[in-house]
Chain A
Amino acid sequence: MNLATINIGAILPALVLSAFGIAIMVAEPFVDEQRKSRLGWLALVGTIFAMLTLFRMADNRGQWYSNLWIVDDYDVFLNFVFLLIAAITILTSIDFLRREDMNHPEFYSLLLFATAGMLMMAASNELVMVFLGLEILSIATYVMAGFRRTDLKSNESALKYFLLGSFSSAFFLYGVALIFGATGSTNLIAIAESLRSSADIQISLVDLSAAMMLIALCFKVAVAPFHIWTPDVYEGAPTPVTGFMSVGPKAAGFAVLFRVFMTAFPSIQDRWASAIWLIAALTMVLGNVVAVVQPNIKRMLAYSSIAHAGYIAVAFAATSEKGISAALFYLLAYSLMNLGAFAIVTILSRREDKLVNLTDYAGLGAKRPGLAAVLSIFMLSLAGVPGTAGFAGKFFIFRAAVESGLIWLAIIGVISTVISFYYYLYVLVQMYMRDSNDEFADLRLCGSLKIALAIAAIGTVYLGLMPTRVLDWTANAALNTLR
């Protein structure tokens, strides 16, 4: 163990993000009111720069900093996903913040810090590191959820997220403490080693610890029955933040879930895998059924995001290399299509997020055909129509489930997909098959939003038609979690 091995390359993306975040905070007082949006573009430059440093990071594979930090394909892939999420969220927010007169560039700093936290979570080989990343992510997100300071709903959203989030963090810490008590280590590989080799470990302690961590992470990724906070928090938060919360913390939570359970706890896999089975089935059915009756599109997408977490949990329940690979693929696909959908919801909800009912979308197809067509792509992809990322992702997930013998879970999954068709297509019904007097004349589509939509839409179709290249990448990444 040598504390002096400092490897900048291995942590470069997180460093870059933090540096840009701090720079934006420092620069903020010196930029006059009209030019604050430019700091948003600076944040975007930061994420792009961080993305470029991923190449540098990829050259530094291995474990660093006393085995706290690990760099492998899994890490690189997830970092790419996180940075993509951050970039699209920034592009969606620039116009939003201007529109809502809350052009405070701290928002971008918080977003960059949150992303840095996610990068840490994916790269940590150590439970305490996981906790640090989790907290950096969470605290930044609590603030972002309450960013509309004068709005009660936004405050409620932030407070709820904060209270329940702290609660789940405590659960996680308890889990870490217990496993440290049982095995004497918080290093994932060391835990796995001692579980495999020594016989005098109190197995009930290990089980309890795993259960605690599972609960905490299930809260973060919002799967049933730990999803109750989701709709209220998502509804109240500013729309771009909702978009970010529905993909960012979720992806990071799953990243940790896979890493911790596949790496540290393979020896008690039979027990946690059946818990995941149950959670996946419950989440898919509950998320999709409840989404059907939501009149508010943000709540609808909240329940839809619960359902999608359920699909990813199916892949996890397969506990195979194919399963993890499918889950990683789905995380990318889901991030693109969901962020795209939320970007359009941001545009359409107009000032103060007033128009967020599904009926407010009536007539969009006739009056704004381009916007409606793009939203249709995202909805069809979320539903899982062939030719879109959503279908490819679901196909890989259910394929992995069948391969691992989880036929019934796959059947529950595909049937709940059919339910989801109802509410996703209902958006299309509103847009194309109903009329309204709304002329959508006050809609402004500025350049940054167009870029965000283009990235999301092209990505969605590309992953749907040509998934092979990304899939090869995720397959390599998945291998890293299995030891």
Chain B
Amino acid sequence: MTFITSNILTIVTFTPAVGALLLLFYNREHVRSIRMFALIVTLVTFVFSLHLVSHFDSSNPDFQFGLKIPWMPSFGIDYSMGIDGISLFLILLTTLLTPLAILASWSVHERLKEYFMFMLLLETGMIGVFAALDFFLFYVFWEVMLIPMYFLIGVWGGERRIYAAMKFVLYTMIGSVLMLVAIIALYFIHGDATGTFTFSFPQIASALASGRVVLSPAIELWLFLAFFLAFAIKVPLFPFHTWLPDAHVEAPTAGSVLLAGVLLKMGTYGLVRFNLPLFPHVSHLFAPLISMLAIVGIIYGALVAMVQPDLKKLVAYSSVSHLGFIVLGIFSFTVQGLEGAVYQMLNHGISTGALFLLVGVIYDRRHTRLIEEFGGLANRMPVYAAFFLIVTLSSIGLPGLNGFVGEFLVLLGTFGTNHVRATIAAIGVILSAVYMLWMYQRVMWGEIRNERNASLLDLVGREHAMLIPLLIMMFWMGIYSSYFLRPMDASVMKLMNQAQTGRVEYARQVR
């Protein structure tokens, strides 16, 4: 048992990768057993990740389940992992969404073996990003994860899949390579000042927080920008969002689910994990500008979503809007705002994941996603319509469902620092209700106009299995939110303290 407890993060991270390796030895004709194996591997990973929740110490703001093994000692690179209240649930989100995405992949028939191998490798990459505590290790996971996603979009995607896959990789790369230079620079700045050359994030962060290492304002600015660009592209923050609709529309259903559910969160996670505590001064300095971009993203994403004829594109643009809320919360520099942002990351993963799953259900049946092709589906698919309604309401942020809690906290936090921003952002909430409900109305209600919709089958058992867990989460997170907020409290408080000291110090420096 102690072996499991001390290595739990390695186990959770690499179980899917081991599964992918084992898949290599499967006969590609055994379609059913390949699928089942992939599903079992991801379920096992999920069970392992539950160990994290049950053994997590909510009162401890620091990294837990830590492990550290020298990897390239002469460079100060370690294999080091650990999680705090912020990354805990993001890992759970990943391990929850992946089996559901696998369930949604039953309609994939081509090169099934490779498909599931890439899904499993992707999961390892995603968990690794959230668990890594060494900059080098973090960067490795951050980059490696691109490759399976590239293949998922490029091989199993829609018509313009190659364009979308290439755009996705190049956009992400441009940001991340600059982050790599910044990481190396930070490594040397820390090493020159303290004498220990290390890529360890906690060590560098604490040296910066305690003032043992002081960044000059100009250097802090450049480092901040390099990190920020990498994460802003990933989020994606307006105006770096143009890769997102392409990638989403062309990706297969499971790819969209994980892209929206987890990959986008890496951007916001990076902002929370790295930008705020490492560069508090510049974070404060840039907060108004970034908040403005976030608000533009909220309104712009909502307006563009409203006029989309394609369901997936609509959901994609709604993501731009929702992610704007998260960034707004992060840069409100209040405990509520930050906690709301983290909560909203989980919500968005669940609601948008569910939305993409639902779009996938109807796409499997009709092979189209155009809203005008549908109408009156509620007559033929009542259960589907009911599920869709709950997910829609959750995405809008109806009280009692998960979305409300996050949005409310974000707006509360933002209102505390700036009334105007909060007011404009609140318009985004209204707009989201407009485009979501309008879409729902056009797809579900009325008479069946298109006769091809007349014989549609309602949800089958497998589809129930992939949607119900998410519906349960929506109610659970909406009603009993403190279960999820409590483990975050300590870590968020600690982070806020670091970011706030930054503001004070910055004020002193400027004076």
Contacts and interface: CB of A to CB of B under 8 A. Distances in A.
A113 interface: no
Contacts of B34: none
Contacts of A415: 174, 177-178
Contact of A467 (B72, B180, B184): B72
A379 to B, nearest CB: 11
B72 A471 contact: yes
Contacts of B140: 386-387, 391
A82 interface: no
Interface in B168-217: 169-170, 173-174, 177-178, 180-181, 184-185, 187-188
B74 A399 contact: no
Nearest to A415: B177
B73 A386 contact: no
A49 interface: no
A411 interface: yes
Contact of B74 (A387, A418, A429, A475): A475
Given A386-B143, A421-B169, A429 B154 contact: yes
B154 A433 contact: yes
Given A386-B144, A421-B169, A467-B72, A398 B178 contact: no
Interface in A303-348: none
B197 to A, nearest CB: 10
Interface string A344-371: 0000000000000000000000100100
A402 B181 contact: yes
A385 interface: yes
Contacts of A475: 74
B73 A418 contact: no
B427 interface: no
Given A414-B181, A417-B177, A471-B74, A433 B161 contact: yes
Interface in A390-423: 391, 395, 398-399, 402-403, 407, 410-411, 414-415, 417-418, 421-422
Interface in A422-473: 422, 425-426, 428-429, 432-433, 467-468, 471-472
B174 A418 contact: yes
Q: How extensive is the interface on chain B, given as a class?
A: 35 or more
A380 interface: yes
B393 to A, nearest CB: 39
B151 interface: yes
Given A366-B111, A432-B154, A385 B144 contact: yes
Given A418-B177, A433-B155, A468-B72, A399 B139 contact: no
A410 B222 CA distance: 14
A425 B188 contact: no
Q: Most chain-B Cβ atoms within 10 A of its Cβ — which of A386, A391, A421, A429?
A: A386
Contacts of B146: 385
B147 interface: yes
Contacts of A426: 166
Nearest to B72: A468
A429 B188 contact: no
Interface in B446-496: none
A398 B166 contact: no
Contacts of A421: 169-170, 173
B221 interface: no
B162 interface: yes
B227 interface: no
A411 B141 CA distance: 21
Contacts of B155: 432-433
A415 B229 CA distance: 13
Q: Most chain-B Cβ atoms within 10 A of its Cβ — which of A369, A385, A403, A425?
A: A425
Contacts of A414: 177-178, 180-181
Nearest to A430: B162
Interface string A206-219: 00000000000000
Contacts of A422: 166, 170
Nearest to B139: A386
Contacts of A428: 150-151, 154
B129 to A, nearest CB: 12
A418 B185 CA distance: 19
Given A386-B139, A411-B178, A415-B177, A402 B72 contact: no
Contacts of A411: 178, 181
A402 B151 contact: no
Nearest to B28: A369
A385 B147 contact: yes
Nearest to A464: B140
Contacts of B75: 399
A433 B181 contact: no
A353 to B, nearest CB: 27
A447 to B, nearest CB: 23
Nearest to A369: B114
B180 A398 contact: yes
Nearest to B150: A425
B48 to A, nearest CB: 23
A469 to B, nearest CB: 10
Interface string A232-256: 0000000000000000000000000
Nearest to A434: B162
Contacts of A366: 111
B75 to A, nearest CB: 8
B143 A433 contact: no
B276 to A, nearest CB: 24
Contacts of A398: 180-181, 184
Contacts of B181: 398, 402, 407, 410-411, 414
Contact of B169 (A391, A399, A407, A425): A425
B149 to A, nearest CB: 12
Contacts of A369: 114
B162 A385 contact: no
Contacts of B173: 417-418, 421
Interface string B129-168: 0000000100111011011001100110000011001100
Contacts of A407: 181, 185
B166 A468 contact: no
Interface string B50-90: 00000000000000000000011111000000000000000
Interface in B91-149: 111, 114, 136, 139-141, 143-144, 146-147
Contacts of B73: 468
Contacts of B141: 386
Interface of A: 366, 369, 380, 385-387, 391, 395, 398-399, 402-403, 407, 410-411, 414-415, 417-418, 421-422, 425-426, 428-429, 432-433, 467-468, 471-472, 475
Given A398-B181, A410-B184, A425-B166, 10 more contacts: A386-B140, A386-B141, A399-B187, A421-B170, A421-B173, A425-B150, A429-B165, A433-B155, A471-B74, A475-B74
Q: Which 9 interchain pairs have the tightest Cβ spacing?
A: A414-B177, A386-B140, A418-B173, A402-B184, A386-B143, A433-B154, A468-B72, A399-B184, A386-B144
18 contacts: A385-B143, A391-B143, A399-B184, A399-B187, A402-B181, A403-B188, A411-B178, A415-B174, A417-B177, A418-B173, A421-B170, A421-B173, A422-B170, A429-B162, A429-B165, A429-B166, A433-B154, A433-B161
Interface of B: 71-75, 111, 114, 136, 139-141, 143-144, 146-147, 150-151, 154-155, 161-162, 165-166, 169-170, 173-174, 177-178, 180-181, 184-185, 187-188
